[in-house]
Amino acid sequence: MRYLSAKDIKQVLSMKEAITEDKKALQLYSNGKADIPLRTNLSVDGFGQSLYMPGTTSGDDPTLGLKIVAVYPDNPKSGLPSVPATMITQDAKTGIVNAILDGTYLTQLRTGAVQGAATDLLAKEDAKTALLIGTGGQALTQLEAMLTVRKLELVYIFDRDQKRAKDFCQKAEIEFKDRFSADFVDIDDPNKVVSKVDIITSVTTAKEATFDGDLVQPGTHINGIGAYTPEMCEIPVSALKKADKIIFDTLDGVLSEAGDIIQPLEKSLIKKSDIDGELGQLVNKDIKGRKSDSDITIFKTVGTAVLDIIVADKIVKKAILQNIGTILN
């Protein structure tokens, strides 16, 4: 059995490769070659919640795995992460556990990558500017994914705490100075730039829209990444109503968990017929994406274990070939 830390994973798999694997994962899902139950959520009275995300894929190269995620708000008081995660991969042909991975970074990587996949398939080819809303633990890989699939020149960064936004810009400049040439600018109000950008990526736990949809201009691509419960909501209804294309990572997951979509559906502000399908269907070319540079496109994800197991499987296979990680006897 092999243990792979965040450092090991970064050494083994690039964002570009993760985006390719996420596309493959959602292809399998949309083709009916993945068995991905909705996550099981156990409340641990007085402490937090523990979530279990199992999954398997079939075909020539089957995969099997389980991600365990805990949400313990008081952990930081003890110097521990509030959302620790661990990924377990198994040999699909024998059922034997073959690796344990740092699930926190894996989640950041595959979530950034699924946004990168959507942006690659839906944003204008010549997109030059972007807005990132939220600078939490997911933000750096979200930014990396956008930079990987488009030659961005300027990215605006917004956080409710502007000092966090400034600090994030400095961190991004150091992290990406050798790979990308974009400038990063912190702002105090996202609505000052919504009408100026080609791509908007929101990654927060907000319970109301994080920007004014009326300001969204033709040609904009929007990614809703952070809201993953029926109570949370990042994408404004006004943007959904004027979108030319609305795509989900998985229909089952988004329609069960995403307040962005559940709330306006329940209020009849949008209809299910407004939803065009899944990203895997777009990869498969079963549905069409952007038709012109004036289209407004929206991608919504709540996450799915198929991303974890496919990306983790690729990481483990590469780690074995490169002899990276710690062997647990």
Give me the half-sphere count of Cα atoms (radius 13 Å) on the Cβ side of residue 91: 7
Residue 103's SS3 state is: helix
Phi–psi pair at 125, nearest 5 degrees = -60, -35
Give the pLDDT confidence of 129-146 residue by residue, as tens digits. 999 999 988 899 999 999
> 170 Cβ partners below 8 Å, 6+ apart?
none
pLDDT at 73 (0 to 100): 83
Rounded Cα–Cα distance for residues 223 and 201 (Å): 5
Among candidates 181, 183, 131, 119, which has minimal Cα distance to 158?
131
Question: Looking at this protein, which amino acid is placed at residue 65?
Answer: G
The whole-number average pLDDT for the span 30-40 is 90
Name the pLDDT band for 233 (thresholds 50, 70, 90): very high
Strand partners, 48: 44
CA 291 to chain CA centroid, nearest Å:
24
Give the pLDDT confidence of 115-127 residue by residue, as tens digits. 999 999 999 999 9
The mean of the pLDDT values for the chain is: 95
pLDDT of 201 > 90? The answer is: yes
Give the pLDDT confidence of 60-98 residue by residue, as tens digits. 899 999 999 998 888 888 988 888 999 999 999 999 999
Strands 63-71 and 48-57: antiparallel
pLDDT of 294 > 90? The answer is: yes
pLDDT at 161 (0 to 100): 93
Name the pLDDT band for 175 (thresholds 50, 70, 90): very high
> 11 Cβ partners below 8 Å, 6+ apart?
322, 324
The whole-number average pLDDT for the span 12-27 is 97
Domains of the chain: 2-106+306-327 (3.30.1780.10), 119-302 (3.40.50.720)
The whole-number average pLDDT for the span 34-55 is 90
Q: Sheet holding 183-187: strands in order across? A: 183-187, 154-158, 129-133, 199-202, 221-224, 297-300, 245-248, 277-278
Rounded Cα–Cα distance for residues 200 and 184 (Å): 14
pLDDT at 329 (0 to 100): 79
pLDDT of 111 > 90? The answer is: yes
Residue spans of alpha helices (H) in the chain: 6-12, 15-30, 103-122, 139-149, 162-176, 237-242, 251-257, 259-266, 279-283, 305-322
pLDDT at 80 (0 to 100): 87
The whole-number average pLDDT for the span 205-212 is 94
The whole-number average pLDDT for the span 283-287 is 95
